[in-house]
Structure 1
């Protein structure tokens, strides 16, 4: 398994991590006490505020970023791009996304946007490596 493939798996798991963060405060509590409602999870998440709401937004954005990364890896593979370059771009994407999620939850909007751009740039760069 290449580093890029490991990064692909990690990128696919990032939204699930964000969802866990968003729901974490509600775990172990009864629904009537504000605990997580697995019968209506999206409605429950929509009512959250603060860092939980931001973690849920990071989840949505992680799903949105994933197709471009996957497509970039596919195109790089089709071009038989240098694996070391693909691996570095994939690592850059995952690192940017991890930092992005942390900054989103921490409510650091300007830095978060910078990391979003870096992750997007890494995904787009995958289309052009040879």
Structure 2
């Protein structure tokens, strides 16, 4: 398995990590005290504020970023591009997504947008690798 394939798995797990962060303050508390409500998790998440709300938004964006990245890796591999280049772009994408999530949690909106754009550029570059 290539490094890019491992990056595909990592990219698929990032939204789950963000969801866990968004829900973390509610774990272990009873629902009546504001704890996580697994009966209506989307409504519970929609009521969150601050970094938890931003973690939930990062979760949604991480899911949104997946199709282009997955397609880019698979297209590059199908076109038999240099695997080292594919691996480099995939690793750069994952690194940028981690930075993006960190920027989202830290409420660094302008930097987050720059990092997001660089991640999209990596995904698009895979089609031309």
TM bracket, shorter-chain basis: over 0.9
CA–CA distance in structure 2, aligned partners of residues 118 and 95 of structure 1: 10
**Distance in 1 of aligned mates of 2:9 and 2:78:** 19
State the partner residue of 2:13. Answer: 13
Structure 1 residue matching 2:127: 3-state secondary structure: coil
Instruction: Report Cα offsets for 1:62-97 as digits up to 9, x if no partner.
Output: 000000000001110111000000000000000000
Gaps spanning 5+ residues in structure 1: where? none
Partner of 1:53: 53
- After superposition, give the CA deviation of every residue in 1:105-124 in whole Å (9 maximum; x if it has no partner): 11000110111011100000
- Give the aligned partner of residue 65 of structure 2: 65
Matches within 5 A, 1:1-130: 1-129=1-129
- CA distance in 1 between counterparts of 2:118 and 2:6 reads 19
Q: CA deviation at 1:61?
A: 0.2
Once superposed, which parts of structure 1, at least 4 consecutive aligned residues long, lie more than 3 Å away? Answer: none
How large is the RMSD of aligned CA atoms in angstroms? 0.4
What runs of 5+ residues in structure 2 fail to find an aligned partner?
Answer: none
The farther-off stretch of 70-79 and 10-19 is: 70-79
The superposition leaves residues 43-65 of structure 1 with CA deviations (integer Å, 9 ceiling, x where unpaired) of: 00000010000000000000000
